[in-house]
Amino acid sequence: MANLDDLYREIILDHYRSPRNRGELTEATSRTEGFNPLCGDELVIYLVVRDGVLEDIKLTGHGCSISQASSSMMSSAVKGKRIEDVRRAIDRFKTMMTLHEDGAAAEPAAEPDLRSDGELAALAGVVKFPVRIKCATLAWNTLTQALDEATA
């Protein structure tokens, strides 16, 4: 298990140090800002949505390693997908970040599956640190808002 934890840590650090899909989109169909006042994380998501597909996504902003890695992983996971598949990915991730009903955070509410969750599974351990859940979900909540605006 220690080797898997080390791998997850490396994945998070890789996305933090070399974030994917950084920048702005001048032709964006949606531009949405997200902010986590607890940590000071700030994020702007730019989307191009056409014909029910998230054709492109770019991100700007700054924050802690968890928020920045999560936004990078999210952008890679959803880019080029149909909107209904993007919304399913959002739901899956948010379920993975939810505490158990009894408030315990020893394991994620939804067990990560490396086959379906890919690199996102690296963030499953965040639930062990409830104060960091908002950091990990900032990008996903902002993406939900951006999709709502783009598809309204």
pLDDT for the residue 111: 58
Tokens found for residue 56: 């492109």
Instruction: Tell me the per-residue pLDDT of 83-138, one tens digit each, with 9 for 90 and over.
Output: 999 999 999 999 888 864 455 544 545 555 555 668 888 898 888 888 899 999 99
Q: Provide CB contacts within 8 A for 128, sequence distance 6+.
A: 105, 106
59, pLDDT greater than 50: yes
Check: CB of residue 25 under 8 Å from CB of residue 44. Answer: no
Instruction: Tell me the per-residue pLDDT of 10-40, one tens digit each, with 9 for 90 and over.
Output: 999 999 999 999 999 999 999 999 999 988 9
Beta pairing, strands 30-36 & 41-50: antiparallel
Q: Provide CB contacts within 8 A for 6, sequence distance 6+.
A: none
Cα separation, 90 vs 14, whole angstroms: 22
Structural domains of the chain ordered from first start: 2-150 (3.90.1010.10)
